[in-house]
Amino acid sequence: MEQRLQTVLSRAGTSSRRRAAVLIEDGRVKVDGKVVKERGFRIDPAKHEIRVSGKALQSQEKKHYFLFNKPKNVISTVSDTHDRPKITDFFKKIDARLYPVGRLDKDTVGAIIVTNDGPLAHKLMHPSFETRKEYIVTSDIFLTGQNIKKISGGLKLDKKLTSQCEIKLLRRSATGAVYRMILHEGRKRQIKRMFEVLGGKVLELKRVKYAGLDLGDLKEGEFRRLTKKEVEKLKKIPAASPPTS
């Protein structure tokens, strides 16, 4: 299937989409031995040989799959102009260009997949697959039954309702409460903003499961390789069925 060359490069893990555009414009990308400088150039990666700076497209390299327990104050980007700690800093001994699948806020901890498999990363992040994400939320408020229904049924953020989610009280304290939440979408700062709509604040947020992968005994800053069975299961996650009229 034909795709934009810039998209093929970013999904293969060669670079970000913005960086891919620069590589193309600089004449560092060849398709079937010929330099291509047009970002919108369309190709079928299954039929054409693609080389970046003389090297075969990274999609042909060995694939790596990890589950990482992201610590607080570590950012989910490959590069950072402020020289802050990044997820990829923990994988310097792995000889591959790895990147996190999606993002967690700087002050959010927990499960995130790190890989160099562009197509799988794109699939897991695409809204149509409604990847399941489970969180432990510590808030400064105790939600009433009515507010629980509001959150689980959908709240309006950016003039659009959030998808239905699951929320369960784990324990109550003198200063607030702790909840377990399961989401199938991933808007920016979604959980924090949902609590803000109801007059509360999220004090701590930890993602304990992602796409069925559990942190288990992983400590913050630790990672493990996914098993072959886990990788195959991720690849078989079906897209959500379209709504029926």
Per-position DSSP letters for 83-147, written without gaps between them: ---BGGGGGTTSSS--EESS---TT-EEEEEEES-HHHHHHHHSGGG---EEEEEEESSPPPHHH
Residues identified as active-site: 105
Locate 36 and state its tokens.
């291509």
Cα 60 to chain center, whole Å? Answer: 22
Locate 116 and state its tokens.
């160099």
Q: Which residue reads 């590069």 in tokens? A: 79
What are the phi and psi torsion angles at 209 (to 5°)? Answer: -145, 145
Spatial contact of 189 and 105, defined as CB atoms under 8 Å apart: yes
Q: What is the CA radius of gyration of the chain?
A: 20
Spatial contact of 16 and 58, defined as CB atoms under 8 Å apart: no
How open is the CA angle 34-8-105, to the nearest 5 degrees? 140
Classified as helix, coil or strand, 25 is helix
pLDDT at 13: 65
Locate 6 and state its tokens.
């810039």
Spatial contact of 28 and 53, defined as CB atoms under 8 Å apart: yes
Q: How far apart are the first and last CA of the chain?
A: 30
At what angle are helices 118-125 and 228-235 packed, to 10 degrees?
Answer: 60
Give the single-character DSSP code of 48.
S
* Helices and strands (H, E) in the chain, number of each type: 6, 17
Render each residue's pLDDT in the chain as its tens digit; 245 residues: 678 888 888 777 666 778 888 888 899 899 888 899 887 888 877 667 888 888 777 555 688 999 999 999 999 988 777 888 999 999 999 988 888 998 999 999 999 999 988 888 888 988 888 899 999 999 999 999 999 999 999 999 988 999 999 999 999 988 899 999 999 998 889 999 999 999 999 999 999 999 999 999 999 999 999 999 999 999 988 876 544 43
Closest CA to 235 of 53, 65, 112, 92: 65
Model pTM greater than 0.95? no
Cβ atoms within 10 Å of 45's Cβ, excluding its own? 21
Q: Which domains does the chain have, with CATH numbers?
A: 3-60 (3.10.290.10), 65-127+215-235 (3.30.70.580), 132-210 (3.30.70.1560)
Return all residues near 132 (Cβ < 8 A) that are at least 6 apart: 182, 183, 184, 209, 210, 211, 212
* Beta pairing partners, 205: 137
